Amino acid sequence: MTIKRRVAVIGAGITLFRRRLKETGKELSYHASKMALDSAEMNLSEIESVVMGTAPDAFDGIHMKSENLLDGAGGTGRPYMRPFVGGGTGVFAPIAGWWHVASGLYDTCLVVAEEKMSPVQPHPQTAFRTIWDPIITRPLQPNLVWIFALEMNRYMTKHNIPKEHIAEVAVKNKSNALDHPSAQLAAKITVEDVMNSETMVWPVQRLDISPPSDGAAALVLASEEVAKKYTDSPVWIDGVGWSLDSSYWTNRDLYYPQYVEEAAKMAYKMAKIDDPPNQVSFAEPYDPFTYKELHHMEGLLLAKKGEAPKLTHEGVTQRDGKLPICPSGGLLGVGNPIAAAGLMKCCEAFWQLRNEAGKRQVDGAETGVCQAWGDLMQVGTVTVFRR
């Protein structure tokens, strides 16, 4: 496999992540896009194509939501496209931006991800009532916390993992988020706080879950030739991968996300990575729940099966550890406006690899991996960034 053109990230932008923001989805898209363009020192007129990542239309109650958002994201009068893989969309949107440029069809692409969950009443969870198979699963009236509790339980049981080790992910990520200016739930908490928080569906407790949020993020992508005109320090997209497993999630063993491994192998192959734990400087796996960070570290082949909790407990995944995980603060700390949260991780990779992450900076960051996950515990999306 020979990839036609190398693609660079040359700008990034992000809004505040909050439970409720007064701005409309269009306005949030605008703010993130403007910041990304400004950071690239580029005008919108230099953007040839736009990709919009945003999760279910049901959040906004707008059919063909991306059509409504398009002027906020600079899509007017441009090729504008919305790739959609549920919760995996945030890391998938830059992959779609990547093929716009790598194909040679466009030299620049503005990738925007927006999510506004607050319009859903009484709670964003309501929008997920219609994600289930209408015959097999929907009559049971499940919700997401319910199925993730099943998965978490299976993971803990299979590897005999103490809940306290999983709780350490919340402590780390919320603490990392103290240094992120967009963060919604940054905090100094302890393992005891997590263990004593309200039980939602055992073993998932209140502090194991990321919050519903409003927010947006954006990246500017450019071909190698164009990137060099704008910056001396482009960040390269060197690997992309995605994989979608069967709709019938009840038919597979939930202890391991094979689809994440398939996506990771595809991205690593493209990036010529054969020893991920030693070749990746930091990673931003998707962490909407504490256990998901660990699950995804294993799927990303950064830890052996069942060993991610041990690495976390030993401090390996701290920002100053050997393999920093979620130095941004992740979804648990910064917030979870679904598609925007995934792209927030890619923004973090951009800032880390440009040495612009301020207090969050990881020493010697050369290669960063971002990953998102979604659907019915079913999709993995992976991007490898290099300086």
Partner 1 sequence: MTVAVVGVGYTDFRSATPDVTFKEQMFEAAVKAYTDAGVSPRKDIGSFITGAEDYWEGYSIFDEFVPDQLGATLRPVCTISGDGLQALMTGVMQVETGMFDIVAIEAHSKASDMLSFTGIVSHGLDPVYNRSMNVSPFFVAGLEMRKYLSETKTTREQCARVVVKNKKNALDNPLAAYPASMSVDEVMNSEMVSDPLSRRDLSPLADGAIVFVLASEKRAKELSDYPIWLKGLSWISETPWLESRNWSEATYAKLASKKAYKMAGIIDPKKQLDLVEVDDWFSYKELQHLEAIGICEKGQAGKLLEQGKFDRNGETPVNVSGGRLGAGNLLEASSLQSVLECVLQLRGHAGKRQIKNARTAAAQSWRGIPTATGSMLILSNEK
Cβ atoms < 10 Å from Cβ of 229 = 10
Residue closer to partner 1 (CB basis): 84 or 282: 84
Q: Tell the smallest beta-carbon distance from residue 289 to partner 1 (Å).
A: 17
DSSP 293-362: HHHHHHHTTSS-TTTHHHHHHTTTTSTTSSS-B-TT-HHHHT-B-HHHHHHHHHHHHHHHHTT--GGGPP
Number of residues that bind partner 1 (CB under 8 A): 69
DSSP classification of residue 216 = E
Those residues whose C-beta lies under 8 Å from the C-beta of residue 229, and which sit 6 or more positions away, are none
3-class DSSP assignment, residue 66: helix
Tokens for 103, please give them: 């194909």
Is residue 213 a contact point for partner 1 (CB under 8 A)? no
Among 17, 30, 80, 286, binds partner 1 (CB under 8 A): 80
Cβ atoms < 10 Å from Cβ of 178 = 14
Q: Tell the smallest beta-carbon distance from residue 273 to partner 1 (Å).
A: 16
Is residue 243 a contact point for partner 1 (CB under 8 A)? yes
Q: Tell the smallest beta-carbon distance from residue 98 to partner 1 (Å).
A: 8
Among 27, 34, 68, 145, binds partner 1 (CB under 8 A): 68
Tokens for 229, please give them: 């005109």
Is residue 44 a contact point for partner 1 (CB under 8 A)? no
Q: Tell the smallest beta-carbon distance from residue 122 to partner 1 (Å).
A: 16
Is residue 102 a contact point for partner 1 (CB under 8 A)? yes
Residue closer to partner 1 (CB basis): 161 or 260: 260
Among 200, 270, 305, 313, binds partner 1 (CB under 8 A): 270
Is residue 78 a contact point for partner 1 (CB under 8 A)? yes
Residue closer to partner 1 (CB basis): 106 or 282: 106
- Return the range that interacts with partner 1 (CB under 8 A); candidates 14-22, 81-89, 177-185, 306-314: 81-89
Please choose, from the candidates 51, 31, 33, the residue with its C-alpha nearest in 3D space to the C-alpha of residue 42: 33
CB 370 within 8 A of CB 345: yes
Gap between the Cα atoms of 243 and 378, Å rounded? 8
Q: DSSP alpha helices (H): ranges in 231-289?
A: 258-271, 276-279
Gap between the Cα atoms of 354 and 324, Å rounded? 16
Gap between the Cα atoms of 315 and 85, Å rounded? 33
Residue closer to partner 1 (CB basis): 50 or 235: 50
Q: How far apart are the first and last CA of the chain?
A: 22
Residue closer to partner 1 (CB basis): 84 or 289: 84
Is residue 82 a contact point for partner 1 (CB under 8 A)? yes
Is residue 84 a contact point for partner 1 (CB under 8 A)? yes
Gap between the Cα atoms of 93 and 343, Å rounded? 8
Q: Tell the smallest beta-carbon distance from residue 170 to partner 1 (Å).
A: 26
Q: Tell the smallest beta-carbon distance from residue 310 to partner 1 (Å).
A: 28
Among 27, 99, 200, 224, binds partner 1 (CB under 8 A): 99
Residue closer to partner 1 (CB basis): 100 or 319: 100
Chain centre to alpha carbon of residue 288 = 9
Q: Which residues bind partner 1 (CB under 8 A)?
A: 1-5, 55-58, 60-71, 75-87, 92, 96, 98-100, 102-105, 127-131, 133-134, 240-248, 258-259, 262, 266, 270, 374-376, 378-379
